[in-house]
Structure 1
Amino acid sequence: MDLSKQALLVVDVQSSFHVPDAIVAGITELTRKVPTIATVERHNEAVTPFLGQLGWTPSANDKCLVPADKVFIKHGYLPPKAAIDYLKDLTVDRVLVCGIQADTCCLAAGFMLFDAGLRPTLLKWLSVGSSLDRSATLGAKLWKHHFGCVLSEPSELQI
């Protein structure tokens, strides 16, 4: 598929989460080729009870570790509606998704993209899973089951 008809959603690639350097570099390279937006998870206990319910919080002031045309701040697992609306306004054929927690935050983004008709596609080699499976294999299996579109290596992008 022509990259000009696609956009990239980078989920929570930020310093609060351990992101391997190779993934940051790979995402950065792709951002030069396709319109890119990113989400950054920030802590606000009044909005999402990370500390009260999970005993952990992301930073209250993290920044995105990769270049993006637009960065959206989120609180919780879902991307903000404004991010989905922004992608819809780009009139792309599909949205490539990568980032942190392929089996939670990326998956949550996938559901919102799917429901918006934006054909989500996970880039497994540029994603990290949660502490249950850092390899992102669980997330890729869930993604394949729910959305059908997972790319496992860069050559599948057909750049």
Structure 2
Amino acid sequence: MPRQALLVVDVQPSFDVPAHIVDAIKALARQIPSVATVERHDETVTPFDRQLGWKPGANDESLIAADRIFIKHGYLPPVAMIEHLKSLDIDRVLVCGIQSETCCLAAGFMLFDAGLQPTLLEWLSVGSSLDPSGALGARLWRHHFGPVLASAAELDLD
């Protein structure tokens, strides 16, 4: 079994995350080391409201009780999260969450560049309003990083 950790991207109240996905992520987070990001709004850091006319909550909390929670402002996860994951001496990072073609993909690039093997959990990921199915994100993920798991049956947790 590979040494692995779970990264949960922005599963928080500001985003409409289906309950069955939240429940499945919660169950997985109890089985392996986990981290989660929470997107918080700070217009002085990232101009979501000015540029996009939208902003996440200023006080959102993760809907997942991960081992570590990292606050971010913008699409990229914080460098401290990458450093934490590297300190776990893992082989791969299982990624799931919100906006598979933006925020999850941004995390994938950082993980890849850090030498960590990012693997998207397609059935636990949701796309943006551009593609709620997440299919675009999965296609981009396969193109840039390779590994995409389509179901829990493909997980190697033993």
| TM-score bracket, shorter-length normalisation | over 0.9
Instruction: Give the aligned partner of residue 54 of structure 1.
Output: 52
Offset from partner CA, 1:52-106 (integer Å, 9 cap, x none): 1000110000000011000000000000000000000001000000000000000
State the secondary structure of the residue aligned to 1:142.
helix
Q: Among 100, 111, 114, which residue is 2:112 paired with? A: 114
Amino acid at match of 2:126: V
1:8 aligns with 2:24: no
- Aligned positions, number: 157
CA distance, structure 2, for counterparts of residue 107 and residue 47 of structure 1: 20
Q: CA deviation at 1:32?
A: 1.1
CA distance, structure 1, for counterparts of residue 23 and residue 49 of structure 2: 31
CA distance, structure 2, for counterparts of residue 23 and residue 148 of structure 1: 23
Q: With structure 2 as the length reference, what TM-score do the two structures score?
A: 0.98
Instruction: Give the aligned partner of residue 68 of structure 1.
Output: 66
User: Unpaired segments of 5 or more residues in structure 2?
Assistant: none
State the secondary structure of the residue aligned to 2:42.
coil
Instruction: Give the aligned partner of residue 139 of structure 2.
Output: 141
Q: With structure 1 as the length reference, what TM-score do the two structures score?
A: 0.97
Q: CA RMSD, aligned part only?
A: 0.7
Q: CA deviation at 1:127?
A: 0.3
User: Unpaired segments of 5 or more residues in structure 1?
Assistant: none
Offset from partner CA, 1:37-65 (integer Å, 9 cap, x none): 00000000000000110001100000000
CA distance, structure 2, for counterparts of residue 22 and residue 67 of structure 1: 16
Q: Provide the identity percentage.
A: 68
